[in-house]
Amino acid sequence: MSIKINKNDIKQLQKDIAEAIEESMKDTYKFYRKATPVRSGNARNKTKYRETSRSYNIESRYDYAGPLDAGSSKQAPKGFTTPSFNFLKDQITKKFKKI
């Protein structure tokens, strides 16, 4: 028995995986921002998505991000990082099933 793998198929698979991860991160960023509590809008406005050649980052650039994520707000008593991470896992699972 032998298995033949075409290099072009591997390249396409790598491309599909990279696209699935990028789309999942962008969807998770939207989810994260929506889950961020709003009083003045400062927290949502200072939540940024940054993509580099090596990583995808969702950054909360305000001093009280820790307490908010720890559940200090009635709007997000479970925080927003853990629910967003769970959302990301679900997104990646769904997208990888399609590949």
pTM comes to 0.85
Average pLDDT over residues 36-45: 90
Which region holds residue 52: left if phi is over 0, alpha if psi is between -120 and 50, else beta? beta
Residue 86: per-residue pLDDT:
97
Would the pLDDT of 98 be above 90? Answer: no
Q: Which residue has the tokens 């896992």?
A: 89
Would you list the domain boundaries of the chain? 45-99
> pLDDT tens digits for 1-40?
888 889 999 999 999 999 999 999 999 999 999 999 888 8
Residue 76: partners with Cβ closer than 8 Å, 6 or more residues away: 35, 36, 37, 68, 69
Rounded to an integer, what distance in angstroms lies between the CA atom of residue 8 and that of residue 4? 12
